[in-house]
């Protein structure tokens, strides 16, 4: 089992490796820069070299880069769409430079234009991205909590986006447990999890599932509330995570926790708790 957390890059991007190692992580997720703005400072070559050196020594793999929050490749707003496209291309270049294995992005919002329009625009964006780039990093599309104008609340929508591009083989899936539960997938029970995995498998194949964001949910099943909670303290509960972590078809993906911070020991304590639930 590969288990890690989303790690801060404060003080230097290479410092994230030491934080991950001290927290008991086998893998980690980071932002390559601030996720709440459009402008990104250039990555320092020496800092990147040091990041790679520390990763090798610590055995931290895979490295997952999460996209900034502002990117929306499903938007009908032409200015935002083009800005998002430019930012996504730059982020993929940065992820490649950092030596990351995966780049995770949300599917954004169709802003009321409808799922079909959002899918079409996202697929067209992927075609433009891969016409310009040939990155080594794999892009993973993350499921959302659904509701409103958001895209990706169902795995069928994610598969439609993959099919809308000419580059499905270069795309994978990031499965967020909180988002799935909030979207109505009852993954905390054996049958619900089996049904969910069968849906993924029939649509795109479970081999597409590369990363699992392991988060409990503050919201009820089907509430569409995107609020992460600590493992065992939300609606999925400890028993639900025993079902998830014990499933034989979920041994290959890397697990990343994105639970709220409750001080410097928050992630290490969560990692220990998950390993105890996993029991292997």
Q: What ranges do the domains of the chain cover?
A: 2-278
Catalytic residue among 91, 157, 226, 229, which? 226
pLDDT at 279: 86
Catalytic residue among 213, 229, 255, 267, which? 213
Query: Is 142 an active-site residue?
Result: yes
In which residue are the tokens 């447990």 written?
Answer: 177
Query: Is 213 an active-site residue?
Result: yes
pLDDT at 92: 98
pLDDT at 280: 63
pLDDT at 262: 80
Determine the Cα angle at 60 with ends 268 and 145, to 5°: 65
157-186, pLDDT tens digit by residue? 999 999 999 999 999 999 999 999 999 999
Query: Is 69 an active-site residue?
Result: yes
Query: Is 66 an active-site residue?
Result: yes
201-246, pLDDT tens digit by residue? 999 999 999 999 999 999 999 999 999 999 999 999 999 999 999 9
Query: Is 220 an active-site residue?
Result: no
Please name the residues in contact with 72: beta carbons below 8 A apart, sequence gap of 6 or more: 80, 81, 84, 108, 109
State the Cα–Cα distance between residues 126 and 162, nearest whole angstrom.
9
Q: Which CATH class is domain 2-278?
A: alpha beta
Query: Is 230 an active-site residue?
Result: no
pLDDT at 40: 92
Catalytic residue among 47, 90, 186, 258, which? 258
Catalytic residue among 6, 33, 66, 121, which? 66
pLDDT at 265: 84
Q: pTM of this prediction?
A: 0.97
Phi, then psi, of 212 in degrees rounded to 5: -115, 120
Residues in the chain with pLDDT < 70?
A: 280
């Amino acid at each position: 089992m590969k288990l890690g957390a989303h790690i801060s890059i404060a003080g230097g991007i290479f410092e994230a490796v030491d934080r991950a190692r001290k927290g008991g992580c086998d893998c980690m997720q980071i932002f390559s820069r601030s996720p709440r703005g459009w402008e990104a400072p250039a990555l320092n070559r020496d800092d990147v070299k040091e990041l790679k050196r520390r990763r090798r020594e610590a055995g931290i793999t895979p490295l997952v880069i999460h996209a900034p929050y502002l990117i929306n490749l499903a938007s009908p707003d032409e200015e935002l769409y083009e800005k998002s496209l430019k930012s996504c291309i730059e982020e993929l270049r940065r992820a490649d430079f950092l030596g990351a294995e995966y780049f995770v992005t949300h599917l954004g919002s169709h802003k009321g234009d409808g799922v079909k329009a959002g899918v079409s625009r996202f697929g067209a964006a992927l075609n433009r991205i891969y016409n310009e780039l040939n990155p080594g990093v794999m892009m993973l599309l993350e499921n959302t909590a659904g509701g409103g104008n958001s895209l990706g609340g169902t795995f069928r929508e994610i598969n439609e986006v993959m099919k809308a591009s000419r580059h499905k083989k270069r795309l994978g899936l990031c499965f967020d447990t909180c988002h799935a539960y909030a979207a109505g997938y009852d993954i905390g029970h054996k049958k619900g999890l089996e049904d969910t995995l069968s849906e993924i498998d029939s649509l795109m194949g479970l081999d597409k599932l590369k990363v699992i964001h392991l988060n409990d949910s503050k919201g009820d099943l089907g509430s569409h509330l995107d609020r992460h909670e600590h493992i065992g303290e939300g609606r999925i509960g400890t028993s639900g995570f025993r079902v998830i972590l014990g499933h034989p078809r979920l041994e290959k993906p890397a697990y990343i926790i994105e639970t709220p911070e409750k001080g410097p020991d928050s992630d290490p304590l969560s990692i220990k708790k998950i390993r105890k639930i996993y029991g292997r």
